Amino acid sequence: MDNIVAFGEILMRLSPPDHLRFFQASSFETSYSGAEFNTLASLQNWGLETQFVTKLPDNDFGNKVISEISRYRVGQKYIAKGGTRLGIYFLEKGSAIRPGKVIYDRADSAVANIEPGDINWEEVLKEAEWFHWSGITPGISRAAAQECLRACRVASKMNITISCDLNYRSMLWKWGKEPKEVLPEILALTNVILSDLATLFKMLGKEKIDPDYSMPETLGDYYEEVLAKCPKLEFLPTTLRYSKSASHQKIGGIMFSAGNIVTSEIKEIIPIVDRLGTGDAFMAGIIYGLSQEWDTQKVLDFAVASSCFKHTISGDINLASLDEINAIMQGDLSALVKR
Amino acid sequence: MDNIVAFGEILMRLSPPDHLRFFQASSFETSYSGAEFNTLASLQNWGLETQFVTKLPDNDFGNKVISEISRYRVGQKYIAKGGTRLGIYFLEKGSAIRPGKVIYDRADSAVANIEPGDINWEEVLKEAEWFHWSGITPGISRAAAQECLRACRVASKMNITISCDLNYRSMLWKWGKEPKEVLPEILALTNVILSDLATLFKMLGKEKIDPDYSMPETLGDYYEEVLAKCPKLEFLPTTLRYSKSASHQKIGGIMFSAGNIVTSEIKEIIPIVDRLGTGDAFMAGIIYGLSQEWDTQKVLDFAVASSCFKHTISGDINLASLDEINAIMQGDLSALVKR
Amino acid sequence: MDNIVAFGEILMRLSPPDHLRFFQASSFETSYSGAEFNTLASLQNWGLETQFVTKLPDNDFGNKVISEISRYRVGQKYIAKGGTRLGIYFLEKGSAIRPGKVIYDRADSAVANIEPGDINWEEVLKEAEWFHWSGITPGISRAAAQECLRACRVASKMNITISCDLNYRSMLWKWGKEPKEVLPEILALTNVILSDLATLFKMLGKEKIDPDYSMPETLGDYYEEVLAKCPKLEFLPTTLRYSKSASHQKIGGIMFSAGNIVTSEIKEIIPIVDRLGTGDAFMAGIIYGLSQEWDTQKVLDFAVASSCFKHTISGDINLASLDEINAIMQGDLSALVKR
Amino acid sequence: MDNIVAFGEILMRLSPPDHLRFFQASSFETSYSGAEFNTLASLQNWGLETQFVTKLPDNDFGNKVISEISRYRVGQKYIAKGGTRLGIYFLEKGSAIRPGKVIYDRADSAVANIEPGDINWEEVLKEAEWFHWSGITPGISRAAAQECLRACRVASKMNITISCDLNYRSMLWKWGKEPKEVLPEILALTNVILSDLATLFKMLGKEKIDPDYSMPETLGDYYEEVLAKCPKLEFLPTTLRYSKSASHQKIGGIMFSAGNIVTSEIKEIIPIVDRLGTGDAFMAGIIYGLSQEWDTQKVLDFAVASSCFKHTISGDINLASLDEINAIMQGDLSALVKR
Amino acid sequence: MDNIVAFGEILMRLSPPDHLRFFQASSFETSYSGAEFNTLASLQNWGLETQFVTKLPDNDFGNKVISEISRYRVGQKYIAKGGTRLGIYFLEKGSAIRPGKVIYDRADSAVANIEPGDINWEEVLKEAEWFHWSGITPGISRAAAQECLRACRVASKMNITISCDLNYRSMLWKWGKEPKEVLPEILALTNVILSDLATLFKMLGKEKIDPDYSMPETLGDYYEEVLAKCPKLEFLPTTLRYSKSASHQKIGGIMFSAGNIVTSEIKEIIPIVDRLGTGDAFMAGIIYGLSQEWDTQKVLDFAVASSCFKHTISGDINLASLDEINAIMQGDLSALVKR
Amino acid sequence: MDNIVAFGEILMRLSPPDHLRFFQASSFETSYSGAEFNTLASLQNWGLETQFVTKLPDNDFGNKVISEISRYRVGQKYIAKGGTRLGIYFLEKGSAIRPGKVIYDRADSAVANIEPGDINWEEVLKEAEWFHWSGITPGISRAAAQECLRACRVASKMNITISCDLNYRSMLWKWGKEPKEVLPEILALTNVILSDLATLFKMLGKEKIDPDYSMPETLGDYYEEVLAKCPKLEFLPTTLRYSKSASHQKIGGIMFSAGNIVTSEIKEIIPIVDRLGTGDAFMAGIIYGLSQEWDTQKVLDFAVASSCFKHTISGDINLASLDEINAIMQGDLSALVKR
């Protein structure tokens, strides 16, 4: 499998250097990223062929994003041009007991105002084998939600595997509907969902739950309830994150598939260089592993290792080679200098 | 006179370092500025008391702007809080034959959505002696235009001197009205207008003209036509800018007042450190000179010197002392090291 | 209570970037701070009204300090101008097992040469409810010590609460007297003293002690002895710092008041961004808590949380909101990204 | 025409920041460029389709170069991998009367050791309409010279237009042959040669000449002599550079074609941001103009304007849009801020 | 003892700033270092007299290295000039679970092509009391290996103490011989060898071993076997490194001498600023200790403390004073700010 | 002649980056320099042997200065250690019409408090052939003035050539005497004085004059008057500086010797990188030229070229090779890239 398409938004990320707070910054480090694109950049880096679909303003920043996508060799030929602005997010990195902070300034972006016909999904997906979306996109605007649904319907009709990183952001969803009014229809078409169970239940409009991941054997009923709502679901991986501080994280994973549950060892990363994009790195790991038709344990272990490695890299994108992730997966955390 | 109030918007300015283009930047230098605030910062620095009025979002960036205003000791006690975002502008500085470039991203800012009652102008202006606005503000949105008119009406009723820097920006005025439908009413209340005649005619809805500033004696009729529309107008200064390149500028001035015209010597600045805010520095010079009740020649010469000096300073704000401007005004351009 | 005055010195801080040693630096990061001012900046940020009193040279650096004070919205209207220089301190930040290093270059600063009459304390304190000083100031010079005493006498006569952060610095006190010849008289007027007991005994000219803070019940006699010398003392908080390395600190607190002793939980911070100013952040927490008339436990817990949070912030000043400190106080150290 | 292939080398460029000399630098700014690639990057940016052919080491820096090529959307699918190192050049930028300085460290690069069969030129050129090389490449090594000849022979057989920027570098050509032993055979196949006449005569092994470009009518015999050696030559453009100082350049051009000579106006650029790559920008202008089938005057004027604009841009690559070059070509050097 | 000579190579070190990967870097931090020079720089800093011997290209970078050597006051009067290039190494610093990465680009450096007669060893060593080399040098090239042997033969004949840091680098030794064909002859002349036993066995062409340093009493036979091959060997120290992650290291040591074995306490450093040069700092500690004729336990403890301290310093050179190392040696790891 | 000794002070220079004003700076670029040392650094770079004599505090900054001196290979073995602080100067670089600004913070430096006996001049000068001082040193303090006189007396007695750069700084001379009370005695011992005539007259306590350097033939009487006061004077060079702006300077020179006057062509430098140290570069040129026993015209031309070149270099020290200065001296200002 090597033709993966994703739809989503790329934002300009503006972040004070070093450990400075917004109040202190007289400059911002600038990069361009988005959950779905970050995932594709990893996959392309690992040797798969990818296409990213979005809408960009027809100005210097739209061009800049095209260049950034190309820099990771991700395809960009189906991107629509138009609208007025590129969305922005401001990131203040945390440290030790001080939390990181995100301020979104993404209203009215080109993607938020995407229009039917901007993307010809039949054309985009004609050679695709996989379609990926994330829960961020339908949270942006009604138009983005509709486009996301449209894409999934086409993909589903073409029997293309659909994956989703549920990525719930409470600061989005200001456009008039709640997730549970929108997402169930799209999730029902989706084959792979990365989410914790509590969030997924919430998104599906179900009751509040508090699953105990330390006892996987107690989770079966939850998974069954999800399957009832998401009949196409084949894989349901979950990132298990234990946040000791902004500089100290522990990452593990659990994955349900065809009635079986596998869990992965928990790894510790200290200190953290950049936490953003570690979920996207997990998602990329899952897609890559499935594309290689590995067994579910290996798929999950690879995703956990990918996510762990990302914590050591600046920016949102997991610049890790397959060799580097394999070394982590095999338990070598000693990080001896290669020379 | 020492109580000067201005109303306007402060934007976050994001500019690539050195001579980099947007395409090349991996960081932006960050500062906070706006035409009317820049003018007040100079006046406060020169010893007058000032108050800046605006509306700011109630988040880290709103707080940051409060702090920046305070850093220049400009008053901020009448600022309204609310709305969703701080406006942004991106600046790519030019060099030699390459023009600078501004990309505005200021739609839906807190000021653009200002509401009647956010500012109590009777309260704000109760001790003021001068009110300053610029043509940028009514170009932002209907709400901002209405607030600007409201402020001028109150100021006029209280017999406060009103000044305006006409500052026409073709990239604004997207909200449904043209300047000539909006500005004449406000300009009719204004006592000091900084503008070139051609732009002023356009803003007043009059015919297109091409005045020849090298022959001041030919300009009389134009000034009379303006007076017919702006009966309160006492001073009409104009910045004369001769742009040889992005790095090489010549600045002079001309001012009409009570039937008389004075002109100022043209000064050359090469190389330019930062062109932004040089008009605001001119405006500050005019207000300061008038506040000192200098003769019109000295007022104009001071404004020209202030604007010239600003070209050598990074950022939008003219960090020049009175002594420094006086030296330029008296023709000392040799810039010997002070030690 | 919302009118807090402090007297002290602001220094220029020059610190090599990243982890560089003085030997390696080809640039210094520059900021402006001082123990008493740092404390006020926090209090103003949390909503109290403050005034900082000092003497500054009448040059660009004096003006810069005025601007920096204003940036935190701390009042500066009673600052005297004169003298020849701004004091400087050089800071080499430590890392892991390498200690940080401070080199003072503050002799003959404007404050060190302050003269009687530079500050009119009756005027300064006429609306004040609280006066704060630190043990650094009398260590600078005879003149500064005398001014500090003068201020406390006026404050005491006006029944203003007086607080002190004892802040003993062995590199100061070169001017001819020892602390125990100078401090007892000032401490006798003071209501709140932040100090550990051993240092306080030393400053009061008493015997060397080695109190065991892990057994608070054994400390009673020490407190009684202090009270004998400091009859106005109401609160005696102590920061308990366990330094594991330059990058790893544990912070707790203990406070004596009216015969009672409260202790606070010990919190761990790793890695440290900047240790400077963490004592000032503790002091600010104590003053804030007392100003809110909280019970002593809450006052102490807030001070500990404030100090802990400061370790994660670059520079000497605790840029922490009340919400952020409350979260730490309530034990949430997980530092999840807010988005 | 829109399928342009070039062959050459990409080097890592290491340059001290600001105006620092090598002796002073504690960091180098890093970019990746090469004469032929720089030319393609402009052409791709202006809308043509391009492919760059080279050999790169199979390590992190080879991958980085692939990413940099992709960032400009230039094609890289025919690049060979192998060899041991990426060539480097160190650049100390000059200023005013201080010359810039280049230190090459490019021996034994992957391209210098290219082997027959690394590139399948029949495959590479099968859809190409234009092939571009520069005189730098045969100067690197015997192997590179042979590969260059091989490429030109295939291109010539396939009736593809061949262009060359002669780019003589005295610091190259250390591999055992002189240019005049190597270049004539390749130039004999070439249709467009960018060079001054004196250098071209030297490269062709002809006598030393000193042509007077201010009297184009005196140049006819020289051009005829060149044609005698280069029977396929259709266009012979020359950049006329008048270097007043490292910060002040004047650029014009002259072009011979089919017996006619056109000259272009001389333009002045002051100050210079970066002189490197201005010849490549000229070359790109010539190729673009010819691809558009413009008349020779317009082609030359466009090339001059492209080269002038490049002087204002940091790095080796001309990040100029068609609109920006057209404005210069039409004589607008005032560089007013676009806002 | 205070005249120490070392022979080796100085490389330009190019390292991305902060935690960036090679792929992300748009600049490199630049320094100049080499194993043997790093060792001398420490010794000179601690008060011994040193001379560094190498060969440098006669260009700006050769001059720069002379200046860098002089900056540490290490002698440079015997350095040969010639050859074509300065060797380079690229360093990507690791973080947490991500390993650091070194890419060498040092082929054909001036030292690699050193010629007999470039250095007059009788002259160089005429006042020397100690000669130091490292296993890197013979790994560079046949010429460098021969020069190293030549130096040791002269030193040995002159009864000068010879020390070696074995420093095996698998990425070197590409010049046609294996270490075991080259090193035994040089090691047979050497009095102090810093190495772990397994590597030393390998270099001596002996069998693969896996010594258990936690049971020093089991190591005796290994040491005897080494002595059989290295009859002049007096001291055989070993750095014991326990790498928990790129940011977390534990360092101890063990030393064999005259039949006795001493071990040093293991110390922990977290976080690591820069791991490079920590072995050189250990070596410097051993030489310094032996020069002071301390007992072996103190020598080893000092070397361990020196190496530990180096982990907190940026760059390859241990900028630590004797006082700072003594504090670590005595177990004070609390790193309290000195002020 | 190759043993040149100079006495003076080295200061820490702190300068905002780019074109920032003191008010804007959040960092300072740091370097270490002083008029006399700058001169020696050039001479050493050109192949002469030099020794710098000063007094430095015995702390990290004193050590840093030793290292900086060594970096230029200037000798430092006679430097005294002691005192409390290193002097500082803050430099705000000017631009175009904005003057540069120096704020001295050098009171009470180690040199200012130098004591008799700190330097053993007989020892220092025993192998010297030249002694250099500048007018800055006696302006620092009484002690420095006395030491300067002491050195000159010893040098004079030993028949060592004495040179002086008069370097009048109005911000110095605060210690109780005027220059004319101090300098005549030292100048009477001096053989080479770099100064303009008006300043020299002032320093000698003579009448105010306004010499016309464009008419050298009118200057004879002035030179005679100087000779009457300075009987040992052999060469009296003057830098002719025409400051068009902070970014645009013209430099020429004139020199009187043995009744003859030579003048040098005036050269133009635009833009200026750093004006500081350009007088020291001129002085170095004079000393170097005289050391080579060139004719006076060549000596002067070399000094002018040296000073011109320095304007293009960041920092106070003229990092120019002999070849580079010769090219300027021979009139090649085109600054073509060397490659």
How far apart, in whole angstroms, are the C-alpha atoms of residue F272 and residue B270?
A: 11
Does A1 score more than 70 pLDDT? no
Neighbouring subunits of C (3+ Cβ pairs under 8 A): A, B, E, F
Closest Cβ–Cβ partner in E18, E99, E171 for A336: E99
Does F2 score more than 80 pLDDT? no
B270 vs F: CB within 8 A:
yes
Question: Which residues does chain A have within 8 Å of residue C338's beta carbon, measured at their own beta carbons?
Answer: 99-102
pTM above 0.90, yes or no: yes
Closest Cβ–Cβ partner in B30, B105, B107 for A25: B30
- Span C3-329: which CATH code? 3.40.1190.20
User: How far does the CA of residue C119 sit from the closest CA of chain E (Å)?
Assistant: 29
Q: What stretches of E158-259 adopt beta strand conformation (E)?
A: 161-165, 192-194, 235-245, 248-257
How far apart, in whole angstroms, are the C-alpha atoms of residue D133 and residue D120?
A: 16
Q: Do C27 and F22 touch (CB under 8 A)?
A: no
Q: Do F71 and E73 touch (CB under 8 A)?
A: no
B225 CB-near residues (< 8 Å, 6+ apart) = B201, B206
Does C172 score more than 90 pLDDT? yes
pLDDT digit string (tens) for C242-278?
999 999 999 999 999 999 999 999 999 999 999 999 9
User: How far does the CA of residue A9 sit from the closest CA of chain E (Å)?
Assistant: 22
Q: Do F101 and B308 touch (CB under 8 A)?
A: no
Across all residues in chain A, what is the average pLDDT? 96
How far apart, in whole angstroms, are the C-alpha atoms of residue B245 and residue D41?
A: 27
Q: What pLDDT score does F225 carry?
A: 96
C21 vs B: CB within 8 A:
no
**ipTM value for the complex:** 0.94
Arithmetic mean of pLDDT, D205-211: 96
Q: What pLDDT score does E1 carry?
A: 55
How far apart, in whole angstroms, are the C-alpha atoms of residue A141 and residue A112?
A: 5
pLDDT class for D1, splitting at 50, 70, 90?
low
pLDDT digit string (tens) for B58-81?
999 999 999 999 999 999 999 999
Which one of D15, D30, D31, D98 makes the best mutation probe of the E interface by having the most chain E beta carbons within 10 Å?
D30
Which one of A98, A134, A241 makes the best mutation probe of the C interface by having the most chain C beta carbons within 10 Å?
A98
Arithmetic mean of pLDDT, A255-272: 96
- Amino acid, res. B297: Q
What sections of C207-321 are H helices per DSSP?
A: 220-229, 278-291, 296-310
B105 vs A: CB within 8 A:
yes
User: How far does the CA of residue C336 sit from the closest CA of chain A (Å)?
Assistant: 5
E26 vs A: CB within 8 A:
no
Q: What pLDDT score does E61 carry?
A: 98
Does D84 score more than 70 pLDDT? yes
Q: Do A94 and C335 touch (CB under 8 A)?
A: yes
Closest Cβ–Cβ partner in E14, E23, E103 for D28: E14
Q: What pLDDT score does A338 carry?
A: 80
The DSSP annotation for B278-327 comes to HHHHHHHHHHHHHHTT--HHHHHHHHHHHHHHHTTSSSSS----HHHHHH
- Amino acid, res. A81: K
Q: Do E311 and C24 touch (CB under 8 A)?
A: no
Does D54 score more than 90 pLDDT? yes
Give chain A's count of helices (H) and strands (E). 11, 14
Of the CA atoms within 13 Å of residue E150, those in its CB half-sphere come to 17
pLDDT digit string (tens) for E260-280?
999 999 999 999 999 999 999
pLDDT digit string (tens) for B1-48?
579 999 999 999 999 999 999 999 999 999 999 999 999 999 999 999
Q: Do F66 and E73 touch (CB under 8 A)?
A: yes
D61 vs E: CB within 8 A:
yes
Asked whether D335 and D273 are in contact (CB, 8 A), the reply is no
Of the CA atoms within 13 Å of residue D230, those in its CB half-sphere come to 31
Asked whether B122 and B154 are in contact (CB, 8 A), the reply is yes
D317 vs E: CB within 8 A:
no
C69 CB-near residues (< 8 Å, 6+ apart) = C10, C37, C52, C75, C76, C79
Q: Which CATH architecture has domain B3-238?
A: 3-Layer(aba) Sandwich (3.40)
Of the CA atoms within 13 Å of residue A250, those in its CB half-sphere come to 6
The DSSP annotation for B159-173 comes to T-EEEEE----TT--
pLDDT class for F1, splitting at 50, 70, 90?
low
Question: Which residues does chain A have within 8 Å of residue E19's beta carbon, measured at their own beta carbons?
Answer: 273, 312-314
| CATH fold of E3-237 | UDP-N-acetylmuramoyl-L-alanine:D-glutamate ligase (3.40.1190)
Across all residues in chain C, what is the average pLDDT? 97
Arithmetic mean of pLDDT, F3-9: 97
Asked whether F281 and F310 are in contact (CB, 8 A), the reply is yes
User: How far does the CA of residue D292 sit from the closest CA of chain F (Å)?
Assistant: 33
CATH superfamily of the domain spanning A3-236: Ribokinase (3.40.1190.20)
Arithmetic mean of pLDDT, B152-162: 98
Nearest 5°: phi and psi at F210?
-135, 75
B71 vs C: CB within 8 A:
yes
pLDDT class for B338, splitting at 50, 70, 90?
confident
Q: What pLDDT score does B1 carry?
A: 55
Q: What is the dihedral of CA B289, B292, B298, B302, to 10 degrees?
A: -40
E324 vs C: CB within 8 A:
yes
Asked whether C77 and F54 are in contact (CB, 8 A), the reply is no
Question: Which residues does chain F have within 8 Å of residue B325's beta carbon, measured at their own beta carbons?
Answer: none
Question: Which residues does chain E have within 8 Å of residue F68's beta carbon, measured at their own beta carbons?
Answer: 71
Q: Do F28 and C27 touch (CB under 8 A)?
A: yes
Question: Which residues does chain C have within 8 Å of residue E315's beta carbon, measured at their own beta carbons?
Answer: 24
Arithmetic mean of pLDDT, D5-29: 97
Across all residues in chain F, what is the average pLDDT? 96
Q: Do C312 and A95 touch (CB under 8 A)?
A: yes
Arithmetic mean of pLDDT, C56-76: 98
**How many beta carbons lie within 10 A of that of residue F190, not counting itself?**
23
Question: Which residues does chain B have within 8 Å of residue A27's beta carbon, measured at their own beta carbons?
Answer: 17, 27-30
Of the CA atoms within 13 Å of residue F293, those in its CB half-sphere come to 2
Instruction: Output DSSP code: residue F227.
Output: H
E269 CB-near residues (< 8 Å, 6+ apart) = C96, C97, E248, E249, E250, E251, E308, E311, E312
pLDDT digit string (tens) for F23-37?
999 999 999 999 999
A120 vs C: CB within 8 A:
no
Q: What pLDDT score does C283 carry?
A: 98
Size of interface C-F (CB pairs under 8 A): 61
pLDDT digit string (tens) for D111-159?
999 999 999 999 999 999 999 999 999 999 999 999 999 999 999 999 9
In chain E, where the domains are located: 3-237
Asked whether C23 and C69 are in contact (CB, 8 A), the reply is no
In the structure encoding, which two tokens stand for residue D322, read together?
């068609």
Q: What pLDDT score does D339 carry?
A: 76
Radius of gyration of chain C (CA): 19
Does B250 score more than 90 pLDDT? yes
Determine what percent of chain C is predicted with pLDDT higher than 70. 99
Arithmetic mean of pLDDT, D259-269: 96
What's the CATH class of domain D3-8+36-54+120-329?
alpha beta
How far apart, in whole angstroms, are the C-alpha atoms of residue C280 and residue B144?
A: 43
How far apart, in whole angstroms, are the C-alpha atoms of residue A208 and residue A200?
A: 10
Collect the ranges in chain E with pLDDT lower than 70.
1
pLDDT digit string (tens) for C74-121?
999 999 999 999 999 999 999 999 999 999 999 999 999 999 999 999
Closest Cβ–Cβ partner in B269, B271, B337 for F100: B337
Taking Cα atoms as reference points, which of C236, C230, C232, C316 lies closest to residue C15? C316
Neighbouring subunits of B (3+ Cβ pairs under 8 A): A, C, D, F
Arithmetic mean of pLDDT, B180-208: 97
pLDDT digit string (tens) for D281-336?
999 999 999 999 999 999 999 999 999 999 999 999 999 999 999 999 999 888 88
**How many beta carbons lie within 10 A of that of residue E239, not counting itself?**
23
Question: Which residues does chain A have within 8 Å of residue B31's beta carbon, measured at their own beta carbons?
Answer: 26
How far apart, in whole angstroms, are the C-alpha atoms of residue A148 and residue A158?
A: 15
Does F170 score more than 90 pLDDT? no
